[in-house]
A and B are shown apart, each in its own frame.
Chain A
Amino acid sequence: MERAFNKSRLILWSSVALLFVLLPFVFPGGFALSILSQLGIAIIFALSYNMLLGQTGLLSFGHAVYFGLGAFVTAHAINFVESGVFGLPISFMPLVGGLAGLVFSLILGFVTTRRPGTPFAMISLGIAEMVAASALMFTTFFGGEGGIVTNRTAGGAVWGISYGPQVQVYYLIAVWCFISMALMFVITRTPLGRIANAVRDNPERTQFVGYNPTRVRWIMMSLAGFFAGIGGALTTINYEIITAESLGLMASGNVVLMAFIGGIGQFWGPIIGAVLVTFLQSFLSNFTQAWLLYFGLLFLLIILFSPGGISSIITIHAPVWRAGVMKRLLPSYMFALWAGFVTLVGIIGVIELLYRGTLVVGVHVAVTWVFAGLLVLVGAFFLRRAIRAVAQVWADLTPELARWS
């Protein structure tokens, strides 16, 4: 077995750590800090989800359950600290959330992992619905509509860290994000991680080799629940309030989008997805009501044309880059980019007109309609040609690349 951290990896991981440390100095504003904190949480959550989907082949539609339950348990733990039931520095609260996620995923995972594939997807959805519905029933634990409110400065300052300023919360999230990323990466290199891949690819053969696929799925699910719980705990600390929404179906669906848009084939794919999706959510939702629609369309496009996500688009270009023939792809890419841009502007025009334009009627609206429609038609016409051109260049390149490697 290769070592998880060789020299080049050590350099890479240290630069990631350095990046985490430096980011607040580059973007010191309050808004930037809150986005960075969200990013850290999203990265943990998306990576923990990929332990299921990417590594073990379990398509879960209920991963937010463990995230949310971890968050609620943490909220209660913080409140207990505040009322003096027991003492624990806030810095270690993510462990509480993680353990809660672990316990719940051990219990629920025992039921859900009994069947792989499509039934697993449906069952995870059903379990998620069940937990979401119970959240409105048990109001003492989930706080009903209002949720549970906490105070992250509970227990006073430990080692001079009070968690009053957002920067301190950011660094807490950054540290836990880094630890979780490293641990999850190490897990992919352990025998367990490898067997999980085997279970994903060929459960029957894994069984013949002497492993129990159901148990491997169960263990992986529990570990994923642990890391999701850490993410949930950090959310509680970050926002100081947690509502039943955080374990609902929307939250579960969101993490599916993150992991898949980023790409489930690479360890770092979900990180890209988490960053992209969080940015889109924070910025797009300021500009347009239709941001979820753009989001869904982006998701459909990725599935239709690049099911490996953004990370696979990057990895397929690595051999081209190494062979130094990137410049042959560029003209067709520029063409596609241009056509895609025109189409995109047209589609955005049509969608926004539908959202707002129905309210106002007039000549200028009609002109805009015609213009947007024309852009879509022209863009789509050239986009088809561009896609064909790109496919042609790739078809020419493939035999050459085979010679290179």
Chain B
Amino acid sequence: MEFFLITLLNSLSYGLLLFMLSSGLTLIFSMMGVLNFAHASFYMLGAYFAYQTGLVFGFWPALFLAPILVGVVGAITERYGLRKVHKFGHVAELLFTFGLAYVIEEVVHLIWGRAPVDYRIPESLNFTLFTLFNTQYPAYRAFMMLVSVGMLVSLYLVLTKTRIGLIVQASLTHPEMVQALGHNVPRVFMLVFAGGCALAGLAGVLGGNLFITEPGMAFSVGSIVFVVVVVGGMGSLVGAFIASLLIGSIQTFSVGFDYSFIDLMAALGVIIDSNSSWYAGLSITISQTAPVLPYLLMVLMLIVRPRGLMGTRET
């Protein structure tokens, strides 16, 4: 019970973090048709910017400054990179962001080195919020959830209740019409791209000190975010939300289970000979399979329902 509740809370906070990443990705995708391969790199930039600005101003200003800086980098990327490649088609756009991911990682190497940087949870949040049975629950995880939920609610409100949100929504489906009504659609695109990147940056600020801030962090989270978007359905925010929580809990729960097929058979009264040739394969525990499970889920989803949970179109 204790294990279950704590893991549930952990997977919730991880899932919300994933959603902050995948919501930006899926917004950018549904608007511009561009799959941003460098999205996780912006997540990494967020963590590094927060570390650097945190050294000067402390954590709280960095919480606001770092996402804004990442958003500015995103805006520049869109204005001087993506917009130029747009005329060459989607493959070129995709490859542009792919190359950008390389360059960002190398620039991070260049500036901050290859070793992890010492980006820590701030002292003011480094305490135990409550003790459940025997496990202490850190306040930072709760803070993380709070910021994520707050961010998502405000994103929802901005998209549905404000004039800017209405224009963004209209540009998603009818860019020509919006343009004809006198709005600067390219600028809306740039803002959406910058906003999505800023969201990723915020996720980086929050996740960087909880996990680890190192140059490899973009690659490790990047492909999971893609799995989330495919499973949830390309371009669907609700789908991305469900898939984020689902994959967040699959990853968190599976790491905790140290049982293998052999243990299962033993519980049923069947003892498998350790000399049998299948032993090595069957003795793999669930926690060992943890890195593969999200991808297996994706493959299953593609076979059963290729458009994803909430996806509306086939491609």
Binding site for B on A (CB under 8 A): 53, 57, 59, 61, 111-112, 114-119, 121-123, 125-127, 129-130, 133-134, 136-140, 249, 253, 256-257, 260, 289-290, 292-293, 295-297, 299-300, 303-304, 307, 351, 354-355
Q: Which of A121, A137, A289, A292 contacts B35 (CB 8 A)?
A: A121
Specify which chain A residues have a CB less than 8 angstroms from the CB of B299 in the assembled complex: 111, 126-127, 130
For chain B, give the interface size range. 35 or more
CB pair B106 A123 closer than 8 Å: no
Q: Which of A123, A125, A256 contacts B302 (CB 8 A)?
A: A123
Closest 8 CB pairs of A and B: A130-B295, A296-B102, A293-B106, A296-B103, A133-B291, A299-B99, A307-B88, A129-B223
Specify which chain A residues have a CB less than 8 angstroms from the CB of B84 in the assembled complex: 304
CB pair B98 A137 closer than 8 Å: no
CB pair A296 B99 closer than 8 Å: yes
Specify which chain A residues have a CB less than 8 angstroms from the CB of B94 in the assembled complex: 59, 118, 121
Name, among A112, A257, A260, A300, the residue most crowded by chain B CB atoms within 10 Å (CB to CB).
Answer: A300
Specify which chain A residues have a CB less than 8 angstroms from the CB of B253 in the assembled complex: none
User: Would you mind naming 7 contact pairs between A and B with Cβ atoms under 8 Å apart?
Assistant: A59-B91, A111-B303, A126-B295, A127-B295, A138-B284, A290-B110, A303-B85
CB pair B96 A304 closer than 8 Å: yes
Q: What's the nearest-Cβ distance from chain B to residue A288, in Å? A: 11
Query: How many angstroms from the CA of A239 to the CA of B176 in the assembled complex?
Result: 56
Per-residue interface assignment for chain B, residues 214 to 247, with 1 indicating a CB less than 8 Å from any chain A CB and 0 otherwise: 0000010001001101100010000000000000
- Which residues of chain B (77-106) have a CB below 8 Å from chain A? 81, 84-85, 88, 90-92, 94-96, 98-100, 102-103, 105-106
CB pair A290 B298 closer than 8 Å: no
Q: What's the nearest-Cβ distance from chain B to residue A156, in Å? A: 29
B314 at the interface (CB under 8 A from A): yes
Specify which chain B residues have a CB less than 8 angstroms from the CB of A307 in the assembled complex: 85, 88, 92
Q: A121-B35, A138-B281, A296-B106 are in contact. List 18 more A-B contacts (CB 8 A).
A: A61-B98, A111-B303, A112-B302, A118-B29, A122-B226, A125-B223, A129-B295, A133-B291, A134-B292, A249-B219, A290-B110, A293-B109, A296-B100, A299-B95, A300-B81, A300-B96, A303-B99, A307-B88
Q: Closest A-chain residue to B302, C-beta based? A: A111
Q: What's the nearest-Cβ distance from chain B to residue A245, in Å? A: 13
Query: How many angstroms from the CA of A116 to the CA of B91 in the assembled complex?
Result: 12
Specify which chain A residues have a CB less than 8 angstroms from the CB of B170 in the assembled complex: none
Query: How many angstroms from the CA of A93 to the CA of B315 in the assembled complex?
Result: 40
Per-residue interface assignment for chain B, residues 281 to 303, with 1 indicating a CB less than 8 Å from any chain A CB and 0 otherwise: 10010001101100110110011
Specify which chain A residues have a CB less than 8 angstroms from the CB of B33 in the assembled complex: 118
Q: Which of A114, A119, A304 contacts B85 (CB 8 A)?
A: A304
Known: A119-B315, A137-B284. Is A297-B103 also a contact (CB below 8 A)?
Answer: yes
Specify which chain A residues have a CB less than 8 angstroms from the CB of B81 in the assembled complex: 300, 304
Specify which chain A residues have a CB less than 8 angstroms from the CB of B111 in the assembled complex: 354
Q: What's the nearest-Cβ distance from chain A to residue B69, in Å? A: 19
Known: A127-B295, A137-B289, A303-B96. Is A354-B110 also a contact (CB below 8 A)?
Answer: yes
Q: Which of A117, A130, A133 contacts B315 (CB 8 A)?
A: A117
Known: A122-B230, A300-B103, A303-B99. Is A115-B223 also a contact (CB below 8 A)?
Answer: no
Q: Closest A-chain residue to B311, C-beta based? A: A119
Query: How many angstroms from the CA of A43 to the CA of B6 in the assembled complex?
Result: 52
Specify which chain A residues have a CB less than 8 angstroms from the CB of B223 in the assembled complex: 125-126, 129, 249
Specify which chain B residues have a CB less than 8 angstroms from the CB of A297 in the assembled complex: 103
Q: Which of A126, A134, A303 contacts B92 (CB 8 A)?
A: A303
CB pair A126 B106 closer than 8 Å: no
Q: What's the nearest-Cβ distance from chain A to residue B35, in Å? A: 5
CB pair A133 B229 closer than 8 Å: no
Q: What's the nearest-Cβ distance from chain A to residue B7, in Å? A: 21
CB pair B110 A137 closer than 8 Å: no
Q: What's the nearest-Cβ distance from chain B to residue A295, in Å? A: 7
Specify which chain B residues have a CB less than 8 angstroms from the CB of A137 in the assembled complex: 284, 288-289, 291-292
